[in-house]
Amino acid sequence: MSFDDLRFSRCPRQAGRQATLTVTVTVALTVAIAFAAMLISTAPAEGLPRAKDKWLRLDTEHFTLISNASKNNTLQVGVDLEKFITVLGGLIGREPASPLPSTVFVFRNDNAFKPYKLLWEGKPANVAGFFLERIDGNLIAVNGDQRLEAAGILYHELMHYVLSSNFSPLPVWASEGLAELYSTFEVVGDKVHVGKPVENHVFWLRDHALIPLEELFAIDVESPTYNEGTRQGSFYAQSWLLIHYLMLNNDEQRRDQLMKFLDQMRRGVEIEEAFRRVFVTDYKSLETELRKYARQGKFYYQTLSPPNEIEELSAPRQLARHEALCWLGDLLISQPGRQDEAEEHFRAGLELQANAADCHVGMGRVMELRERMAEAEGHFRKATELDSDNFVAWYHWGLLRIQADSTSGVDAATRSALQRSVELQPSFAPAWAALSYAHTFDDTISEDAIRAGEKAHTLLPSQAEVAQTLLHHYVRANQGEKAHHLFDRFFAAHSDPKVARPARIALWHLEAQKAEALIPAAQASLPQVEEAIVAFERIQQESSGFPELAWIDDRLRELRSFVDRQRQVDLYNQAIELFNAGKMDEGRKLLEEVAAQNPDGEFGAAVRSTLETLRSAVSQ
């Protein structure tokens, strides 16, 4: 264990220092599938890369690197990234799951990087690197000459990716605190450093008061203090401080407490109660410890020795020009508003090699963005014909067909395309998620649907849309125990309050199905209907304020009306029995009780007619 003493090391930001950006580009798995808009304006294309440029491809265990930097620089980037993943495996206690392909573009210098940078106000942003998160994979781009400057944001975002791929959603203070803790990861020779202080946070904490822990723990993604874009301010500084203190201070004595605390919250235990159980103290006491920790200026960090075999990566291979153009086009198509430049790259690649399946996949995505769906499908289909083992091509073809089929159901060809994708690459989570979603159009939910949903959720344990689809499978298949277990484990303590709402509604619909099942279709008895009413009343009480469950009110009125009528019929029949037994006066009184309730329809007419008959008989 080492430490940095920052009490005398304040360093102002250097003028002109380049920043890094992270952008999340998501594709919603709904009927309308499209890229999310971003506040980035477009600029004229700068053309294709120089024909004389040499591009390399390096495949490591967790990354694919595409580079026009030197071989040694490319290898070093690959080694550093694999060491980072290895260290995270030590934190998790196992090999981290990685359900999405991660591609890293290493550019030789800023001039080579410039045409592929994110755009800001029509010009390439002043960045040393950026991270793009897509539904079908992660894209990382760095200036090889300035990769150390880009390291902080890239490690931060990679940490988010690993957390989301291996855990249910964490509270935002824990997720951001861990990402910031590992953002200062660095490789020094055959050693790595973990947890070196984030200077901006240290300086911020010297000048600002701490947020009370009760408030910090209550912050979610809807809170105004949460801003992943800037990663600045008291929330990020204190989240980092709390995680750093619990993970690395006091010889890591509090690390186990942190893990137990997060587990208690995941299980739905109230935050304050979970805190008291695990830390055996109150908020004020830990706040006092944190203030002292922030002011001391000494922050311990770990020095670790990853396995030496990470250094032994196989040599990169040189790409053909058409291959490089396909990869670079993929980087451009991931940036909103740059499909023209992407298309230029893909078409140039196809001119060089007409059978380049990846360029056809890229052209399919360009056409899809332009809503030219027939052309898009043609390119995706062509890609699968040229390379039947291209699991990405099968996935995009199937995903496109879901959009086309959504109004009339999903056909066998669509399922077949997605099934082929998961057969080729069983760990490719997006294809499992799309296959699970395709089953939502089925008339009944099969075991295949549930199997796809469970696989997708296992690979993407923090994705709310995937969990929501699985929950609906369980509800429609009437698998209540699994549905409630998923809700308690995933939705109950989710950091985004909007995520739990549709899940709660789905569970109430499941409970309503159970209530309806209490009433036989042929002939329901009064006790059965009364039991159903109790169940519906419980749902009504719990779902107060949810207009989606307003139909419960109507159903309760129907059932209560049935019960009232059934009781009236029972009294009517008793009155007839009394009349037939010669107890005319008693029969008349019962019928008068029924008549006082103003029954309608044919039954009401029968009551009134019979009552007149009884009154006449009694008077005689």
CB 230: neighbour CB atoms within 10 A? 7
Domain boundaries, the chain: 2-9+23-38+55-311, 320-381, 563-619
Instruction: Name the residue type at position 278.
Output: V
Top CATH class, 2-9+23-38+55-311: mainly alpha
Q: Is residue 583 helix, strand or coil?
A: coil
Q: Rounded distance, CA 60 to CA 49, Å?
A: 25
Residue-wise pLDDT tens digits, 233-243 = 899 999 999 99
CB 46: neighbour CB atoms within 10 A? 11
Beta bridge partners of 129: 20, 142
Q: Which two tokens stand for residue 151?
A: 């390291």
pLDDT at 21: 40
Closest CA to 465 of 499, 418, 504: 499
Q: Rounded distance, CA 567 to CA 379, Å?
A: 68
Q: Which two tokens stand for residue 19?
A: 């920043």
pLDDT at 406: 63
**Burial label, 249 (beta-carbon count in 10 A; 0-12, 13-18, 19+):** buried
Whole-model pTM: value is 0.80
Q: Are 112 and 76 in contact (CB under 8 A)?
A: no
Q: Which residues contact 388 (CB under 8 A, 6 or more apart)?
A: none
- Taken in order 523, 526, 528, 533, the sign of the CA dihedral is positive
Closest CA to 176 of 22, 369, 2, 332: 22
Residue-wise pLDDT tens digits, 473-489 = 999 999 999 999 999 88
DSSP string, 16-77: T--EEEEEE--B--SSS--BPP-S--------PPPTT---EEEE-SS-EEEESS-HHHHHHH
**Burial label, 233 (beta-carbon count in 10 A; 0-12, 13-18, 19+):** middle
Closest CA to 84 of 389, 92, 39: 92
Dihedral pair phi/psi, residue 143, rounded to 5°: -80, 115
CB 504: neighbour CB atoms within 10 A? 17
* Architecture of domain 320-381 in this structure: Alpha Horseshoe (1.25)
Q: Rounded distance, CA 598 to CA 572, Å?
A: 13
Q: Are 98 and 131 in contact (CB under 8 A)?
A: no
pLDDT at 232: 61
Alpha carbon distance, N-terminus to C-terminus of the chain? 108
Q: Rounded distance, CA 395 to CA 136, Å?
A: 9
Count of residues making up the chain = 620
Q: Which residue has the tokens 């304020």?
A: 545
Closest CA to 549 of 484, 502, 485, 498: 502
Cα angle at 492 between 488 and 498, to 5 degrees? 140
Q: Are 150 and 183 in contact (CB under 8 A)?
A: no
Mean pLDDT in runs of 10 for the chain (620 residues)?
33 32 34 30 64 95 95 93 92 86 95 93 90 92 89 92 89 93 94 94 91 91 68 85 90 81 81 90 93 88 84 88 98 94 97 97 96 96 97 96 76 93 96 96 94 96 94 93 91 80 90 87 78 92 89 92 88 89 86 87 86 78
